[in-house]
Amino acid sequence: MTHSTTLRQGCLALLSSIMLSACETTQDNTGPLSTTVSQDGKAAPGTTYELADFAGPSGGSNTVNQTDALALNQPSPALAGAEVQYHTMGKGSFEQVFSLQQLAPLWNNEKCSGCHVNGGRSPLGSDPLVPQLLFRVSVPGVADDGGPNPVPGIGGQIQPFVIVNGVRGIGPEGKVSTTYAEQLRAFADGQPYSLRTPTYTPSATLPPGTMISPRIGQQIAGLGLLEAVPEQDIVALADPTDKDHDGITGRPNRVWDAAMQQTVLGRFGWKANQPNLLQQAAAAFNGDLGITSPFFPLESDVPGGGRNKKGPGIKLPSGGLSSLTAAAAMLKTSATSTTPTDIDTDALFSTAFYTGTLGVPATRNSSDPQVAAGQALFVAAKCAACHTPVLHTSSAAPYGLGGQTIHPYTDLLLHDMGPDLADNRPDFLATGSEWRTAPLWGLGLSVTTSNHTNYLHDGRARNVLEAVMWHGGEGDFSRNYVAQLSQTDRNALVAFVKSL
């Protein structure tokens, strides 16, 4: 175990204290919302968004009015008392630097915050032009949980680091080098721009047919709010057969919940391949850090590692963060002494709590005429068809997350983004060209928090406009619309996105 006796003894006591306390939520009522909807509750074709759909605090009562380097790493203002203490414990787990012996035999990083610096995106790598990436891998076929088929002897991702002569070195899985080819293009007004196409070359020999997919770490602010959006609201946004004929479909991913031992809605990850923050945290500890837990007690590169399809039958109540106390108790009961793990349930659950109770930065410059013009263009370009400007959280969600009107700019659905962005690697129901709509809240603070503006799943886009111009598939209309805009209008669109 890696945490102090005081931390281990304190976590469950704090959880009990938190669950027994009444967590009051504050509903923000700044302006009515008037999105036109059809009879089934789904956004109607050609929806006209009102100004109120964009108005109000980004995270409701979880909004943080901070714009410095730590803006994405602040506890929600809705937390109080024992909740703040438990959040702080989770922050300690998230930022803990693990020893080489704990990380061994294979790992990607020494701490969670190494890939999510200041709660933001992955930092740049040793080459300042290349973002720090991890690489998912799989072979053809489907695993017994319905997800990607792990590479024999490697697992689901390349973990480059091992202990060599007592220090960190490169192991048998090797590293992956990244090179770029520039594609010079121009907007309709003649203004040139360039897109860089990446090529990834593994240093190790991988089995024939191995599929490889790069990932940049995402920002983690507001995740608890996204977990609190009712499933039916997300599903209602889907239009898998394009009934409204707008060229935009969207569909939910269905993934394996190792705790519930059943297939559920996917919410988190670039392909919405994780169902909740608890499993997301456990999987990241296991795959990214090589840290085992009672949730995933096996190393990720061994058969069954990083999975729980055939592991201990952990059955937990539903409810996301509200089930933390019961989950901790049940995990302790089901964890066997014959499978010692690197961290215990206290560290795991406090980390999940921390990631779920971070505040969301407030929008900025909303009264600026340029930002207002960009907002109108955002809707006209159909960006809002996927980057949904307003969602609502369940009134039953705890810790100030419930009953909130939020503005994450995502529908949490999968969309086909065309062949240029495809990784050609399926992930549960997600095809090789489908990606979950990335939330946009906090994006305007990328330089401040992460010191770069590398966007999309692999960081190939170096700014907002490049990210837009990479859109294909369901994003064709948006890309073509923006390509025809004047420079003044393009600047306005970027100003709006950077205000989020």
Q: What is the pLDDT of residue 125?
A: 76
What local confidence, expressed as pLDDT, does residue 20 receive? 40
Task: Please state which of the ranges 63-77, 110-124, 372-386, 414-428 shows the lowest mean pLDDT.
Answer: 110-124
Which range has the worst mean pLDDT, 42-46, 283-287, 480-484? 42-46
pLDDT computed for residue 257 by the predictor: 87
Distance between CA atoms of residues 188 and 323, nearest Å: 53
The β-bridge partners of 193 are 185
Residue 496's pLDDT is what? 98
Q: Tell me 362's DSSP state.
A: P
pLDDT band at 291 (very low <50, low <70, confident <90, very high): very high
- Banded pLDDT at 411 (limits 50, 70, 90): very high
Q: How many angstroms separate the CA atoms of 128 and 123, rounded?
A: 9
Domains of the chain by residue range: 1-500
Q: Which residue has better confidence, 44 or 423? A: 423
Q: In which region does residue 366 sit, left (phi positive, over 0), alpha (psi from -120 to 50) or beta (all else)?
A: alpha
Three-state DSSP state, 80? coil
Neighbours of 430 (CB within 10 A): 27
Taking the C-alpha atoms of residue 45 and residue 375, their distance in angstroms, rounded to an integer, is 19
Higher pLDDT, 422 or 100: 422
CB-based contact 228:401 (threshold 8 Å): yes
pLDDT, tens only, 102-117: 898 999 999 999 999 9
pLDDT per position as a tens digit, 259-278: 778 899 999 999 999 999 99
Residue 296's pLDDT is 86
| Site of tokens 């999975």 | 307
- The separation between CA 253 and the C-alpha centre of its own chain, rounded to angstroms, equals 14
User: Which pLDDT belongs to residue 326?
Assistant: 56
DSSP secondary structure letters along 50-65: -GGGT-S-TTGGGEE-
**Which tops the pLDDT comparison, 32 or 302?**
302
Res 31 pLDDT > 80: no
- Copy the structure tokens of residue 162: 């091992």
pLDDT reading at 478 higher than 90: yes
* Residue in 51, 91, 102 with CA at minimum distance from that of residue 355: 91
- Residue 218 in this model has a pLDDT that exceeds 60: yes
Q: What is the pLDDT of residue 129?
A: 67
| Backbone dihedral angles phi then psi of residue 476, each to the nearest 5 degrees | -55, -45
Mean pLDDT of the chain, nearest integer:
86
Q: Please give the residue that has the higher pLDDT: either 451 or 10.
A: 451
53 or 180: which leads in pLDDT: 180
Question: Is pLDDT larger for residue 15 or for residue 126?
Answer: 126
Pairing assessment for the beta strands 192-202 and 262-265 based on DSSP bridges? unpaired
Q: Angle, to 10 degrees, between the axis of helix 82-95 and the axis of helix 345-356?
A: 110
C-beta separation of 270 from 262 below 8 A? no
Q: Provide the β-strand partners of residue 169.
A: 162
More confident residue, 355 or 312: 355
Confidence of residue 52 (pLDDT cuts 50, 70, 90): confident
